[in-house]
């Protein structure tokens, strides 16, 4: 893969899972926090599956339909895998996902009218989810971290497909670059506002902040957003670091 087309996901270094705890070694407070965060991740993967299936139906060519059906199958595998990790920790899947359903449903249903801006916002939104997941790998148990590695392998390919299609859409649409920048700023606003009350972002960060290493999470989200903007050929812009309220 050429350097100019490498995805943010493909240049993420894999951390060793050998030093991470086993489930039985987790204290109850940490296990509860992990279950809450996994609820957000698990429902997010279900929404990703539904989105890929919808995209497959909209495709005109059989090749594109096949591509998105493959992505959907992989997203469903992710959802089922994280569901199993929830159960292994003693959580109830439906109960863990429930607090995040409304915000994630609203985020995915709040379609941007312009197709270019909407595609850019969607691509960057998936990037935020990926960055949360790679950070989560550092604070979870060893077996969940090993499963996350398999998810990362799939997401690297998904991101490359998205970049190629997005660049073509921007290039062939009148005022495509202007509309793409609009979508990027819309997603940036949503990401930053996710830490505020009545957030318009896909999820609140609260469930993740309870796991610690908040500074790493903030840096990961900000740098990931900036790198993805550059990868689709947009002018760089400074991503402000959200002021996240750390809960005890």
At 3, is the pLDDT very low, low, confident or very high (cuts 50, 70, 90)? Answer: very low
Query: What average pLDDT does range 152-179 have in this prediction?
Result: 90
Give the tens place of pLDDT for each residue, 224-243: 888 888 888 887 655 554 45
In-domain check, residue 214 = yes
Q: Is residue 6 part of a domain?
A: no
Number of domains in the chain: 1
User: Which CATH number characterizes residue 171's domain?
Assistant: 1.20.1260.10
Say whether pLDDT at 152 is over 60: yes
pLDDT at 112: 60
- pLDDT higher for 201 or 32? 32
* Residue 242 included in any domain: no
Domain encompassing residue 172? 27-231
> 58 is written with which tokens?
């909209």
Residue 16 lies in a domain: no
pLDDT at 13: 45
pLDDT at 63 over 70: yes
Report the predicted TM-score, pTM, of the whole model to 2 decimal places.
0.81
Q: What is the rounded distance in angstroms from the CA atom of residue 242 to the CA atom of residue 230?
A: 20
85 lies in some domain? yes
What confidence score (pLDDT) does residue 87 get?
96
Residue 240 lies in a domain: no
Rounded to a whole number, what is the distance in angstroms from the first to the last CA of the chain? 43
Residue 237 domain flag: no
């Amino acid at each position: 893969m050429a350097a100019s087309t490498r995805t943010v996901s493909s240049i993420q270094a894999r951390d060793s899972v050998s030093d991470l705890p086993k489930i039985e070694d987790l204290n109850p407070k940490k296990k509860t926090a992990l279950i809450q965060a996994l609820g957000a991740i698990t429902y997010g993967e279900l929404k990703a599956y539904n989105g890929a299936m919808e995209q497959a139906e909209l495709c005109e060519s059989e090749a594109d339909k096949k591509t998105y059906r493959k992505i959907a199958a992989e997203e469903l595998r992710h959802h089922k895998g994280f569901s199993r990790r929830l159960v292994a920790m003693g959580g109830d899947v439906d109960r863990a996902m429930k607090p995040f359903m409304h915000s994630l449903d609203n985020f995915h249903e709040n379609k941007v009218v312009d197709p270019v801006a909407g595609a850019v916002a969607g691509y960057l939104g998936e990037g935020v989810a990926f960055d949360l997941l790679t950070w989560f790998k550092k604070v979870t148990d060893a077996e969940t971290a090993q499963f996350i590695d398999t998810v990362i392998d799939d997401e690297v390919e998904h991101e490359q497909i998205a970049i190629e299609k997005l660049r073509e859409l921007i290039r062939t649409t009148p005022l495509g670059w202007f509309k793409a920048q609009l979508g990027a700023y819309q997603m940036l606003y949503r990401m930053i506002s996710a830490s505020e009350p009545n957030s318009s972002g896909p999820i609140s960060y609260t469930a993740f902040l309870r796991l610690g290493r908040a500074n790493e999470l903030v840096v990961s989200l900000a740098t990931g957003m900036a790198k993805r903007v550059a990868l689709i050929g947009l002018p760089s812009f400074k991503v402000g670091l959200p002021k996240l309220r750390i809960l005890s």
